[in-house]
Amino acid sequence: MTILTDSAAPEATDLSLVGGKAIGLARMTAGGIPVAPWLTVSTRVHRAFLEQTQLNAHIEGVVDAIDWHSQDSLADAEHQIAAIFAETPVPAGIAEDIAAAYQDLAERIGVPELSVAVRSSATAEDTADSSFAGEYETYVGITGAEQVVAHVKRCWASGFTAHAMAYAHDRGFSPLAVSMAVVVQKTVKSRAAGVMFTLSPSTGDRSRIVVEASWGIGLAVVGGEVTPDRYAIDKVSLTVLDRIPGDKKIEYLDGQTSTPVEDARHAQLCLSDSEVLELARLGKALEKQQGGPQDIEFAIDRELADGSNIILLQCRPETVWSTRKRAAAAALPLMDQVAASVFGLGKRGAAGSPGKRDLVLQEVRHAH
């Protein structure tokens, strides 16, 4: 039986053991990208569950009887299998292991009543090109060992929804061949959240990092419902150059509804300098790793201790400035460059001239 809590362990990147989603988390952690703390209930536990309960024998008959061209047949099979899962309890030994791992995680990060997301992390032999993205279930806001165990089982069952079975069949393998690891990951309790650009969004300056943040989860920033705080950081020296407090009248605490923010916090900076600098360090490292400017969503988890409370939620290449063709300026001969730079004189249309004056120069002929 294997439940993994150490993301640095060699098994943590064994696809057959932990599935795609957990490998992604382990790789991000190894790459210095902080994600919410998690544990992985490995495929070995899934197999133990199936063996001890003899579930596969029951399910096999149902799957064999599916008419793959019929939606009704698929839906019927889903219901039958769901009923089989419902009447099959998780064996006590397995349930205790999962519960203990969950309690350990809560203790380790110092959060009692730990709320987690329980997420399927599937794998199957010879499925390197099958991502299973979105095929299996994720459950959020789960609290308590009993509930966690129950939802791990639901993840295992989610391999047999109509669309998951069809997905597997279309790719030429049986739904029964899917091994399901399950990731149990802390729910991010966002004190503040926002976005970070590893360049200046206003000028495209790549020696700048700009962070915008507001109270609560990132919805208010992304949706433009508040004027967020704005922080400018020098990417080279990693110093905070500017902190402009926003006007943060509302915050989302749960992703559904916004609540008003008390007056005193409207213009109060929601990030500390050390948080801003830590974010910038992460942004700079990610940019280097990814080979270009990044657009990153982050949250500051209020339940986690200072220094380990930054969670990156999403990271994608910046597209506005990075795709813009930059003026090719190298063509100017030295003395034209000097004339342009020092005196603002350049040939009309010459790239790279700061052009304080718009003067057309005659062809420069050097006297002998």
Chain residues binding other proteins by CB under 8 A are: 200, 203-208, 232, 234-237, 239, 241, 326-330, 334-345, 352, 354, 356-357, 359, 361-362, 364-367
Cβ proximity to other proteins, 8 vs 328, nearer residue? 328
d(C-alpha 162, C-alpha 281), whole Å: 45
Quote the least distance from Cβ 352 to other proteins, whole Å. 6
Cβ proximity to other proteins, 188 vs 232, nearer residue? 232
Quote the least distance from Cβ 367 to other proteins, whole Å. 6
Quote the least distance from Cβ 279 to other proteins, whole Å. 18
Cβ–Cβ < 8 Å for 197, 210: yes
Q: Which residues contact 264 (CB under 8 A, 6 or more apart)?
A: none
Cβ proximity to other proteins, 264 vs 342, nearer residue? 342
Quote the least distance from Cβ 210 to other proteins, whole Å. 10
Cβ proximity to other proteins, 36 vs 332, nearer residue? 332
Question: What are the residues facing 278 on neighbouring strands?
Answer: none
Quote the least distance from Cβ 224 to other proteins, whole Å. 24
From the list 18, 23, 17, the residue with the least C-alpha distance to 35 is 23
Q: Which residues contact 296 (CB under 8 A, 6 or more apart)?
A: 195, 196, 197, 198, 282, 283, 286, 312, 314, 315, 316
Cβ–Cβ < 8 Å for 161, 187: no
The phi and psi torsions of 137 (rounded to 5 degrees) equal -85, 155
| Secondary structure (3-state) at 173 | coil
From the list 102, 89, 113, the residue with the least C-alpha distance to 182 is 102
Cβ proximity to other proteins, 20 vs 283, nearer residue? 283
Quote the least distance from Cβ 334 to other proteins, whole Å. 7
Cβ proximity to other proteins, 269 vs 340, nearer residue? 340
Cβ–Cβ < 8 Å for 155, 178: no
Quote the least distance from Cβ 293 to other proteins, whole Å. 9
Cβ proximity to other proteins, 203 vs 256, nearer residue? 203
Cβ proximity to other proteins, 65 vs 361, nearer residue? 361
First to last CA, the chain: 88
Question: What are the residues facing 211 on neighbouring strands?
Answer: 196, 231
Cβ proximity to other proteins, 69 vs 365, nearer residue? 365
Quote the least distance from Cβ 328 to other proteins, whole Å. 7
Quote the least distance from Cβ 229 to other proteins, whole Å. 18
The phi and psi torsions of 168 (rounded to 5 degrees) equal -65, -45
In DSSP notation, 36-105 reads --EEEE-HHHHHHHHHHHTHHHHHHHHHHT--TT-HHHHHHHHHHHHHHHHTSPPPHHHHHHHHHHHHHH
Cβ proximity to other proteins, 162 vs 232, nearer residue? 232
Per-residue exposure over 268-293, b if at least 16 CB sit within 10 Å of its own CB, e if not: ebbbeeebbbbbbbbbbebbeeeeeb
Quote the least distance from Cβ 327 to other proteins, whole Å. 8
